[in-house]
Structures are given as structure tokens and as C-alpha cells.
Amino acid sequence: MKRSKYFVPVLILVVFFFFLWRYGVFSRLPEIFENLDLRFVAVSLILYALTYYFRALRFSVIFSSISVSDMMAVMSVHTFFNNVLPFRSGEASFPIILKKLFGVEVHASSTALLFVRFLDLLSLSAIFTVSVFAVAFQNKELIWLSFLIVVLLFLGFWLVVKVLNRLKLRFSVIAAIVTFASTFISFRKIVRLFLYSLLTWFTKFASFYFIIKGGDLNLSFFQTVFVSTFGELTTILPIHSFAGFGTYEAGMVGGFKLLGVNTSYALTVAFYFHLILLLMSGILAALGWIYLMRRRSKGFYEV
């Protein structure tokens, strides 16, 4: 049973590398890295680290006993595990770390994480909607998509509210989230959390934009938001390969295709983009892990 659960991720990985070979990505990729502008990549890394700061601020509002610097380190490790493990199994690292280092009960941290994920969805939807309209003004053929996205978002959120209201009495997880939001978080805190969520996504997309610039690729900021959002949405799919290879690129290629970019070039850019993103995530995770372990060895965490 344990081996069978890895069959789909491995299969996706094999199919993905076949398509990389089929579309000549391995021959085109070295050219991008040879011309890589490390100044833009450095700016991207700084902005990506800034997303951890805003994420940390969100959870520090909820768990005020944990410092922002400690929470930033936790976010870096948690995000890395989320990026590399299939099926979003990396989410489990957040409650585990908070329990082991800070004594936060698993049900409290898990509920907080689910609530923040909902705010992430709202924030991402808002920024993505703006990008869709901005891209549609540049490409009139996509006007239909902008209105379709708005309708689908409103319909989706309406359905989510309806479903939550119906299921909160039947499922303890949903009831816990509703209770958590109504009991432990005030309206003022929700506004702060939503603002931090917007800043998280804005800095993340700004980081993405500089990854694109570093590879000397011609995409505007809103085009970067538009394309990369399709990649980000694949991370919530139940079918997810190791480190998101294949699924993440497929999402980005779909966004590129809507912009009229040919598949070969789109796949090359998506693969380059994903590699840089994983590299930055790994660097920040290593720094975060070293920070947490040093603090633990010095007795700052006495759990």
C-alpha cells in the first residue's frame, strides 16, 4: 500500500521528462542559464523571503507568543516541504513544528492554517482577477476570459459559503474553522490577516516577475501573475508529483497557451521558472532550519 501511493507521482514525473525531451527543453534550457542575470535573481530571492515575513505576520496575529522571526523560519521550512512533497502532504509540517518547538496544540495550528489558506484563496483570486483584466486589455481575444473568471469566482465563493453553512454541523473540521474564526479572531484581526495575505501574494508575484526578468524573458508583471497563477493552482490538486514537477509546468503552459505562446517555448520557460523557485525555497528553508536548530540548542524552545 505504501509503495502504491507513489505510483501516480512517479508516473507523472516519467511522463513529464518524456515531454521535456519531446519538446527539446533540455537543449534550450542551457541558453537561459548561460544568460541568467543574477542581479534579478537576487532581487527575486529577497522578495521571496519577504513573502515569509508577511506570512509570519499573519500567524503572529493568531499566535502572539511566537516571535515574527521564529515564525519566518517555520514558514521557510513549511513552504519547502509543501513544495517538494506530493499531495500537499507538506502541510503537516506546520502543526508538527509548532507542537515540537512551541507547544501549540495540533488542532489549533491546523485550524489556523486552514483559515489562512482560505484567506490565501481570496487574496490570490483578487490579484489574479486584476491580472486577467490587465492581460485582456493587451489581448482583446481574452476579454471573454476576464468576465468568465469574475462570474466563476463569485459563483465559487457563493457555493463555498453555502456548503460551509450546511456542513459545519456535520463535519467537525469545518465546525472547528467556523468556531475558530468567530471566537478567536476579531473583525480587526481578519482585516489585518487579509491585508497580510494580499501583501504575501503581491511580493510573491513580484518575486516571480524578477525570476522571469533574470532569464531575459519578455513578460509584463500582470502577464507573470496570469501565467504563474495557473501553476500555483496546480499545487492544490489531489494529483501532485514530487516537487510539483510536471503538474506545475502543465499549469504554467496552459497560461502561456492562452497568451498565444508555443508549447515548446512555454514548457522551457516553465521548467526554468520552477527550478529557480525550488532553489530559492531550498536556500531559505536551509537558513530557517539552521536558525530553528540553533535557537533550540541554546534553550530558547523548552517544549
Query: How confident is the model over 275-297, as pLDDT tens digits?
Result: 999 999 999 999 999 999 998 88
DSSP codes of every residue in 26-62: HHHHHHHHHT--HHHHHHHHHHHHHHHHHHHHHHHHH
Q: How far apart are CA 144 and CA 152, in angstroms?
A: 12
Could you tell me the pTM of the whole model?
0.85
Average pLDDT, the chain: 82
- Return the closest-CA partner of residue 58 out of 107, 119, 108, 110: 119
Greater pLDDT, 137 or 237: 137
Q: How far apart are CA 3 and CA 295, in angstroms?
A: 37
CA distances from 17 to 5, 13, 23, 236, 254 (A): 20, 6, 10, 22, 17
- pLDDT higher than threshold 90 for residue 207: yes
| Beta carbons of 47 and 221 less than 8 angstroms apart | no
